[in-house]
Structure 1
C-alpha cells in the first residue's frame, strides 16, 4: 500500500478525530476509496476502536431516488438509532460520477434533506471528519492526470497542521471581536453582515481534511447586499454556475444562475432557513492553489471567501444569539484574487487575496 495512504489514515484517526479504545466508529465511503478504508481499518484496529462500514453506491442512490415518491421520504429511524450510538464518523468522498443524480428531480433532494435532518443533527454531535481519497474520477473533474491529482490531494492533507493553525489564528483574532464584515469583489459583489456576539473558529483539521479556514456565523437578519459566486459548485448531481443572491433583512429576495438555476432554487426552497446565511468562511490554505470542483478543497483556497446558505454552525453561535435553523448547508465561493477586499469594522484586512498579516499586503 502507498505509504501516503497510511499517513492519510493516521492524520484522520490521530489528529482529526482523536479516536480512543472502544470508540464506536462509522465509516462511509465509495468503493473507489477502498485503499483508504483498509488503511483506516488497520489504524482503528491498532487503537482498539469498533468500526462499521457503509459503502456508498451512486447508481443505487439514483435508482432509489427516481423510484421514490417525494412525499414518502421520512427519517430512517434505524440510521438515527445507529448514529445515536456512534462516537466518531468518517465521511470519505472521491469516487464515482459526480453527476449521477443529475436526472433526479431537485425537489426529491429537498425532501431527502428534510428527512435526514435528525440524523445530521445527531452526527454533528459526534467527532466527525470529511475527507477525500484521490481517484481517477476526481482527477478528471480537476482536469489533472491521476498521478498529479494524487500528489495534489496528499500534499494538501500531509501538512504541518500546527503551523497552519497558528497562521489562521491571526484571522480568528480579527473576526472574533468584530461587529461587521463587508465583502466586495468587482462590480458584482458587495455584501455586509453583522457578526457581533458570534464566535469565530479555526478549522485546522478537526472536521475537514484538508482544512484551512477561519469561519463564523452572521447574525441571521443582518445580511444586506448582493453576491455573485464566480466559482461553480456541484449539488444534487447538478453543476450550478454563476449563482447570484440578493439579500434584504438577512433573507434572499432575488436569485439567479447562469446554469442550473432550478437547482439553486431547490436549495433555497428546502425550508425557511435555507434563504438565510449560516456561515461566513475565509479560505487560508496556501497549499491549495487551484480549483478542482471539490468543495472540500476549493473553499480552503487562500484567496477565496465562501458563504453558506442554510444551517448555522453550533460552535460559532452562543446560546443567547439567534441560530439559523435549516436542513441544508450549502457552501458557495467568491474568488477574491483580484479587485476585491474584506473589511472588518471598516478596516481592510484582505486585499486581492492577501491578508494584512502576509507579505505583499497593500494598504
Structure 2
C-alpha cells in the first residue's frame, strides 16, 4: 500500500475521529475510495473499534431519485439516521469517478430529499465526524491534472504537521475572535459587511474537514449587508453555477443571479427560510492548496480566498444567546481575494491581496 494512504488513514482515525476501544465507527465511502476505506477499517480494528462500512455510488442515488416521485422522496431515511445515531464516529470519503452523475436529477427533487432528511444530517453532526477526499479520476479531470499530479496535490494538502498549522492559524483567530464587524471587499463586485459579535471562531486544523486549513465563524444572521460576487465556480448537484451573485439586506438575500445554472441557485435559496441567509464566513489559510480544482473541500481552504455559506450555521460557532441560522442547506461559495481585495476586522485591514498582515 502507498505509505501516503496509510498516513492519510492515521490522521483520520487518530487525529480526527479519535477512535478508541469500543467505539462504533461508520465508514461511508465512494466505491473508488476503497483503498483508503480499507486502511481506515484496518486501523479501527487495531484500535479496538467496531466498524460498519458502506461503499456508495452516485449512479444508485441518481436512479432512485429519478424513479421516485416527490411524495416518496419526502420521507426520512430511518435506516441511515439509526446508523448515525448509533455511531461514535463517522468517516466519510469522497472520490467520484464522474462528478456529473447526478446532473440530470431535477433540483426540486434533491431539495425535497434534503428537507426530509434533516434529522439524518443532525445525527451525523452529533458524532465525531470527518469528511475527506480520495484522489479519484473524476476530481483529477475536473482539476485538469494528471492522476499522479493530483495524488501529489491531495496528499500534500492532507499529510502534514497539523499542530504547526493550528499554531499558524491561531494568529488569525486572535484577530477575529474578539471582533464585532468584518468587511470583505474585492474589486468593484464585492463589498459586504457582517457582525460576528459574540460568536466563536474555529481554528480548523484536524477538526472535521480533511484537509483543514481555514478559520471560520458564523455571521449574526440579520447583520449581513451588501453585495457579493462569488467568482469561483461552485458544483451543485453535478452542475456548475458560475458567477453567483447575492445581494443582502438585513441579512437576507433580496436579489440573486448567475451567469450559468441560475435555476440551481434559485432552488437552493428557496429550500427553506434559513437558506436565504449566511451561516458561515470562512478564511482560507492552507498554502499547500495553491490552485483552484473545482472541489470545495480543497478550494475553500486556499490561502487567498474567503468563502461564505448560505444556510445552516455550525452550532459550535454560535455564541450563547446569539441566534443560529437554521437550514437543511449549507452551500459554500468562494471569493478570490488575490487581487484588489482586502479583509477588514473592526476597520483594521488584516489581509490585503491574499497576504495576511502577520505574513508580511
TM-score bracket, normalised by the shorter chain, equals: over 0.9
CA apart distance, 1:59 = 1.0
Equivalent residue of 1:278, what SS?
strand
| 2:24 paired with 1:24 | yes
Residue in 2 aligned with 1:300?
Answer: 301
- 1:248-263 alignment, distance < 5 Å: 248-263=249-264
| 2:45 paired with 1:34 | no
Residue in 2 aligned with 1:289?
Answer: 290
How far apart, CA to CA, are the structure 1 residues paired with 2:124 and 2:58? 21
Residue in 1 aligned with 2:85?
Answer: 84
How far apart, CA to CA, are the structure 1 residues paired with 2:11 and 2:123? 24
Equivalent residue of 1:35, what SS?
helix
- 1:207-222 alignment, distance < 5 Å: 207-222=208-223
CA apart distance, 1:84 = 1.1
Q: Specify every segment of 5 or more residues in structure 2 that has no aligned partner in the other structure, as ranges.
A: none
What TM-score do you get using the length of structure 2 for normalisation? 0.99
Give the aligned length. Answer: 359
Q: Is the 8 A contact 2:97 2:137 kept in 1?
A: no
Q: Is the 8 A contact 1:303 1:335 kept in 2?
A: yes
Q: Is the 8 A contact 1:311 1:326 kept in 2?
A: yes
Residue in 1 aligned with 2:332?
Answer: 331
How far apart, CA to CA, are the structure 2 residues paired with 1:190 and 1:296? 25
Equivalent residue of 2:53, what SS?
strand
Equivalent residue of 2:145, what SS?
coil
| 2:81 paired with 1:94 | no
Q: CA RMSD in A?
A: 0.8
Residue in 2 aligned with 1:184?
Answer: 185
Equivalent residue of 1:190, what SS?
strand
Residue in 1 aligned with 2:315?
Answer: 314
How far apart, CA to CA, are the structure 2 residues paired with 1:154 and 1:49? 26
CA apart distance, 1:70 = 1.5
How far apart, CA to CA, are the structure 2 residues paired with 1:233 and 1:56? 23
| 2:142 paired with 1:130 | no
How far apart, CA to CA, are the structure 2 residues paired with 1:94 and 1:60? 15
Residue in 2 aligned with 1:140?
Answer: 141
Q: Specify every segment of 5 or more residues in structure 1 that has no aligned partner in the other structure, as ranges.
A: none
Equivalent residue of 1:113, what SS?
helix
Residue in 1 aligned with 2:8?
Answer: 8
Equivalent residue of 2:184, what SS?
strand
Equivalent residue of 1:357, what SS?
helix
Q: Is the 8 A contact 2:34 2:55 kept in 1?
A: no
CA apart distance, 1:219 = 0.3
Instruction: Write out the 4+ residue segments of structure 1 that deviate beyond 4 Å after TM superposition.
Output: none
Residue in 2 aligned with 1:226?
Answer: 227
CA apart distance, 1:318 = 2.1
Q: Is the 8 A contact 2:22 2:50 kept in 1?
A: yes
How far apart, CA to CA, are the structure 2 residues paired with 1:35 and 1:79? 23
Equivalent residue of 2:283, what SS?
strand
What TM-score do you get using the length of structure 1 for normalisation? 0.98
How far apart, CA to CA, are the structure 2 residues paired with 1:63 and 1:131? 25
Residue in 2 aligned with 1:53?
Answer: 53
